[in-house]
Copies of this chain bind each other. A is one copy, B any other.
């Protein structure tokens, strides 16, 4: 499908970094190359492929922008003052391979780079502005960064479900919803259709987070390919609802997701089912 092509595109798009830094160029692209599951690009490309397959080539740069922003967030989340994680995608985290300065700066650079990539896409300027608006909103202080700040701040305080949900909505779900909506904007769907797809993405994002909490509680780090059982003090669905409660919550959400999928156009449903299946089978 389009993910193999995206992977080739990503490898081809490694930028040359000028100057005389001994490893900045390597560090900048390393986390992007290290076999991420490309879930967000796959969501974006699923929508474009379903509604405007001739636009697929033009959607690769925006998909890479998403992956670039997501990767910066992983690098910064892993920093010593945040999650202090040693392992990510089965590789040492960037501040472990190199140093903290490099990890902070590569994260900063990938954040900015995602907007550079969007500016370079072969799309109408107006569409590009919509993509930039959306990504900067849901990827920033109104979205992902807000969620991460809340998550860190309330690490040792038990929160009610409503607040926990607010955190995950912002930390994880909005960027996933944005991935789908970016596809809808590229495919030039109506704003009501784009919104419908966005709302579906929010549910996927919550599903994703609850599932992650459960994995973090049950898997070893070899199985998960990252530092696990790291969330004992964190607000998580498992800590709040218990393992069985979290699994039940996940089950209910999964049913909702399938019900919505049934209302989607055939090709979109097919694409999304495949992406979700690939993602979750590769990440048990």
Instruction: State whether the Cβ of A111 lies closer than 8 Å to any Cβ in chain B.
Output: yes
* Stretch of A115-123, A206-214, A250-258, A274-282 lying at the B interface: A115-123
| Chain B neighbourhood of A17, CB < 8 A | 141-142, 146
13 extra interface residue pairs, beta carbon distance < 8 Å, beyond A107-B108, A108-B108, A125-B126? A18-B146, A81-B101, A105-B148, A111-B111, A112-B140, A112-B141, A113-B136, A115-B132, A116-B137, A124-B125, A125-B128, A128-B129, A132-B132
A24 to B141, CA, bound (A): 9
Find chain B residues with CB under 8 A from A136 CB: 112-113, 115-116, 119
Q: Nearest B residue to A133 by beta-carbon distance?
A: B119
- In the assembled complex, the Cα of A145 lies from the Cα of B27 at a distance in Å of 13
- Residues from chain B with Cβ under 8 Å of A170 in the complex: 19
Contact among B19, B104, B149 with A24 in the assembled complex (CB-CB below 8 Å): B149
A268 CB to nearest B CB, Å:
27
With an 8 A cutoff between CB atoms, is A79 at the interface? yes
A116 to chain B, nearest CB (A): 4
For the complex, is A28 an interface residue (Cβ under 8 Å from B)?
Answer: yes
Residue of B nearest to A72 (CB): B108
- 9 A–B contacts from the bound complex (CB under 8 Å): A21-B150, A24-B146, A81-B101, A82-B104, A104-B104, A108-B111, A111-B111, A115-B115, A128-B129
Give the residue name and chain of the B residue nearest to A166 (CB).
B19
Q: Interface size on A (CB < 8 Å)?
A: 54
Bound form: Cα–Cα A82–B150 in Å: 25
A149 touches B101 (CB 8 A): yes
Q: A260 at the A/B interface (Cβ < 8 Å)?
A: no
Interface centre among A72, A119, A133 (most CB of B within 10 A): A119
Q: A22 vs B157: C-alpha distance in the bound complex, in angstroms?
A: 13
With A24-B149, A145-B112 as contacts: A129 and B139 at CB distance below 8 Å: no
Which partner residue on chain B sits nearest A170 by CB separation? B19
Does A152 reach chain B (CB closer than 8 Å)? Answer: yes
Determine whether the beta carbon of B101 is less than 8 Å from that of A113. no
